[in-house]
Amino acid sequence: MSAGRSVPSKRSLPLTLLPAGLTVADVDFSKTDGLVPGVVQHARTGQVLMVGFLDEQALITTLEDGLATFYSRSRGGQWTKGETSGNTLAVTAVEVDCDRDTLLIHALPAGPTCHTGDQTCFGGEAMPGSFVHELDGVVASRKAELPEGSYTTSLFTGELRRIAQKVGEEGVETALASVAQDDDALLGESADLIYHLLVLLHARGLTLADVEQVLRARHT
């Protein structure tokens, strides 16, 4: 690893290695000469960010440092994503597939994942709904950091009643726009409503994921 990279020796976030109590030894590294593919997926949006190969040591390092680490076939050695650029992938969970020879790595990116500067190595537009999850994360960070001059900070430092009032106002404006204004106005009001609703959820200690869980339960 790069000596200039500042990373904690132990993770502060919980990390799930594999389900059902499995260990590194339960991953089958024998099928492809000691390497298994690792698909990196954004932990909030579900968007696929990149694919790399891991040997056993790369997986161990990933778990110890909490940063996605791979085996470079061209370099012939281990490398941690972002060790020079700073665009690391903070791992939140790792899962193995049913054949035990492919890993799914859930991670939060610190900047663009691709060396080209794109958010993912696959280019293209973000998957539908992914930016709402990204915004949910931004709102969470605003609540934690309360940066000066931020409108979101002013909402969090005010009364909950005021945030609820804003959600109500934006809801009414969205409904009115749907019957009395054009599509651009409706989209604009809808965006305002979603943003203020996210702020309200976080003010109550909830997240977009909690809403999704309710929707999923209703669907099933």
Burial degree of 10 (CB within 10 A; 0-12, 13-18, 19+): exposed
pLDDT band at 53 (very low <50, low <70, confident <90, very high): very high
Tokens read off for 134 = 């990204």
Q: Which domain holds residue 177?
A: 130-219
Same domain membership, residue 94 and residue 30 = yes
Distance, CA of 144 to CA of 152 (rounded, Å): 11
> What average pLDDT is seen over the chain?
85
Same domain membership, residue 138 and residue 60 = no
Same domain membership, residue 161 and residue 89 = no
* Cβ-based neighbours of 164, under 8 Å, separated by 6 or more: 200
Tokens read off for 203 = 């003010």
Neighbours of 33 (CB within 10 A): 9
Long-range contacts of 68-74 (CB under 8 A, 24+ apart): 68/38, 68/40, 68/105, 68/107, 70/38, 71/35, 73/35
Task: Kindly report the CATH number assigned to the domain that includes residue 155.
Answer: 1.10.287.1080
Same domain membership, residue 24 and residue 55 = yes
Does residue 3 register a pLDDT over 80?
Answer: no
Nearest to 205 by CA among 115, 114, 125, 139: 139
8 A C-beta contact, residue 203 and residue 156: yes
Same domain membership, residue 134 and residue 105 = no
Note whether residue 82 is domain-resident.
Answer: yes
Burial degree of 75 (CB within 10 A; 0-12, 13-18, 19+): exposed
Note whether residue 211 is domain-resident.
Answer: yes
Same domain membership, residue 147 and residue 101 = no
Tokens read off for 48 = 């696929």
Mean pLDDT, residues 148-153 = 96
Supply the pLDDT for residue 9: 36
Mean pLDDT, residues 46-64 = 91
What is the percent of the chain where pLDDT is above 90? 53
Distance, CA of 109 to CA of 200 (rounded, Å): 25
- Relative to beta strand 69-72, strand 89-96 is unpaired
Same domain membership, residue 136 and residue 105 = no
8 A C-beta contact, residue 63 and residue 100: no
Supply the pLDDT for residue 129: 56
Does residue 2 register a pLDDT over 50?
Answer: no
10 or 172, which is more confident:
172
Domain count, the chain: 2
Same domain membership, residue 96 and residue 51 = yes
pTM: 0.62
18 or 123, which is more confident:
123
Please name every residue paired with 52 in a beta bridge, in sequence order, or none if there are none. Answer: 38
Supply the pLDDT for residue 127: 58
Note whether residue 123 is domain-resident.
Answer: no
Task: Kindly report the CATH number assigned to the domain that includes residue 71.
Answer: 3.10.20.810
Supply the pLDDT for residue 104: 94
Tokens read off for 1 = 């690893």
Note whether residue 14 is domain-resident.
Answer: no
Angle subtended at Cα 80 by Cα 77 and Cα 85, rounded to the nearest 5 degrees: 120
pLDDT band at 6 (very low <50, low <70, confident <90, very high): very low
Note whether residue 120 is domain-resident.
Answer: no
